[in-house]
Amino acid sequence: MMNLAPKAKEIRESGFAVVDNVFTNEQVENILAAINRVDSTKETFKKSEDLFAIRQFLKEIPETTDLIFNYKLKNIINEVFGEDYFLVKSIYFDKPETSNWFVSYHQDLTVSVDQKIEVAGFGPYTKKHNQFAVQAPLHILDNNFTIRIHLDDTNELNGALKVIPNSHSKGIYRPEKIDWSIEKEVSCNVMRGGIMMMKPLLLHSSNRTSNHQKRRVIHLEFSNQILPKELNWSEHLDLFTTVDSIKDT
């Protein structure tokens, strides 16, 4: 069994870590087959020349849940973060071979919730594809984490995330304030079937594709935080009790 203590240390100190061979090629193919069978005309799907995305991915394609949360992934979550975490957001991204889509440096400051309501410490809100997102207090963002499952080999030529190590420890860090005399940029290259784990406050970006290779990623966000009673997570999956269904909170 893999010693995950070094990965937990990387997360604490750098804000990210990569783990290879979490999924076999056969497991990746099974996930992709389930995705390819779905009706892509739904409003939770975004389709353009540069990007195909499925929001609330595990709700839209629930048969992928057992495929994704295999023993290896659940063990990684348990050993690196703990059994009290649950899934709160899932998105599938397909960045085509000729994509000009890029994302500039930013932190993930919002969480997905079920409604817009005034709650102290939360705001402002945005709404995309009938989903509400709200900027959350730092104590929630500090405890959350993201796992990105890579369904293709990914490097700096087809949109691997570029990150600034340890930027997650500096609170709200505006991109225009990045001091490149002291900061360094790292490309998080991930092999097919591997994962990247990251903290939401880690500054990250993504380049345009230049090598005509796909980049398909399943983006999963996790929390162990209870929201104020007026708010609910838009998705909620308890990982260590059941993965048979996803329930609305």
Full set of structural domains in the chain with CATH: 5-238 (2.60.120.620)
Q: Is the pLDDT score of 247 beyond 50? A: no
CB 125 within 8 A of CB 243: no
Structure tokens at 98: 């000729």
Share of the chain above pLDDT 70, in %: 89
Where does the pLDDT of residue 16 fall: very low under 50, low under 70, confident under 90, or very high at 90 and above? very high
Parallel/antiparallel/unpaired status of strands 161-163 and 45-47: unpaired
Structural element, H or E, at residue 94: strand 86-95
Do residues 192 and 25 lie in contact, with contact meaning Cβ atoms separated by under 8 Å?
A: yes
Q: Is the model's pLDDT at 100 over the cut of 80?
A: no
Per-residue pLDDT, 163: 98
So what's the pLDDT on residue 99? 61
Q: What's the rounded Cα separation, in Å, for the pair 28 and 21? A: 11
At 211, the pLDDT band (50, 70, 90 cuts) reads confident
Q: Give residue 16's Cα distance to chain centre.
A: 12
Are 74 and 239 within 8 A, CB to CB? yes
Q: In which element (H, E) is residue 248 found?
A: none
- Distance of alpha carbon 158 from alpha carbon 211, whole angstroms: 6
E strand or H helix that includes residue 6: helix 5-14
